[in-house]
């Protein structure tokens, strides 16, 4: 079972996440989609990274795969 970190309200989050800083827009959708396929559920992202639209496209693609 993956290691999880407790957070407020009794929830928890995966201890290992995919960092998306400096991931190019062209690479982000496929990377995020594949990470989700492999079981990643923690995506480290921020508006300052400037790739949020591309990351969102990857998340949408991963959800379409379900």
Task: List the beta bridge partners of residue 18.
Answer: 43
User: Comparing C-alpha atoms, which of 49, 14, 18 is closest to residue 33?
Assistant: 18
Predicted local confidence at residue 1, as pLDDT? 62
Catalytic residues: 49
The CA–CA distances, whole Å, from 39 to 10, 18, 26, 33, 47 equal 22, 11, 22, 10, 24
Predicted local confidence at residue 2, as pLDDT? 75
User: What global pTM score does this model have?
Assistant: 0.83
Per-residue pLDDT of the chain (66 residues; tens, 9 = 90+): 678 999 999 999 988 899 999 999 999 999 999 999 998 999 999 999 999 999 999 999 999 998
Predicted local confidence at residue 9, as pLDDT? 95
């Amino acid at each position: 079972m993956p290691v999880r970190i407790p957070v407020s309200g009794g929830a928890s989050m995966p201890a290992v996440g995919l960092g998306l800083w400096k991931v190019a827009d062209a690479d982000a959708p496929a990377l995020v989609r594949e990470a989700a396929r492999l079981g990643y559920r923690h995506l480290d992202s921020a508006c300052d990274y400037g790739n949020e639209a591309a990351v969102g496209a990857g998340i949408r693609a991963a959800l379409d795969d379900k």
